[in-house]
């Protein structure tokens, strides 16, 4: 009997890693900031992350996606990781979690 990989457990580990990555200009992690739109994990433990930036000309546009990809790839169970940047829909403060808004004094 073959076991199916537990992609949801890996997804939770990926989210935990994403919560260690911070936007250098805002003291909140990129997950709580609402920059991560989706995390896809297939049965081969290949990961695709759909994310955005606070603005198209964000100063970390070149480095932040690379950091996300490298940190996710560092998880033992991840075979491959790819980050796709999108600006549709554009990021707004409404995408931030309650925790992020509280941290930034917006509540």
Which tokens is 98 given?
């309650």
Res 48 pLDDT > 70:
yes
pLDDT tens digits, 63-102: 999 999 999 999 999 999 999 999 999 999 999 999 999 9
Res 3 pLDDT > 70:
no
Q: Would the CA dihedral through 44, 77, 53, 57 be positive or negative?
A: negative
Q: What band does 37 get if pLDDT is binned at 50, 70 and 90?
A: very high
Q: What is the pLDDT at residue 7?
A: 82
Set out the domains of the chain in order of their start, with CATH numbers: 7-92 (3.30.300.130)
Output the average pLDDT for the chain.
91
């Amino acid at each position: 009997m073959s076991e199916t990989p537990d992609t949801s457990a890996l997804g939770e580990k990926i989210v935990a890693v994403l919560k260690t990555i911070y936007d250098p200009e805002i003291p909140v992690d990129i997950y709580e900031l609402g920059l991560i739109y989706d995390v896809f994990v297939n049965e081969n433990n290949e990961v695709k992350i759909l994310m955005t930036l606070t603005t198209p000309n964000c100063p970390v546009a070149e480095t932040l996606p690379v950091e996300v990809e490298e940190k996710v790839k560092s998880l033992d169970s991840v075979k491959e990781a790819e980050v796709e940047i999108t600006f549709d829909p554009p990021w707004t403060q409404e995408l931030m979690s309650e925790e992020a808004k509280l941290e930034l004094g917006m509540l």
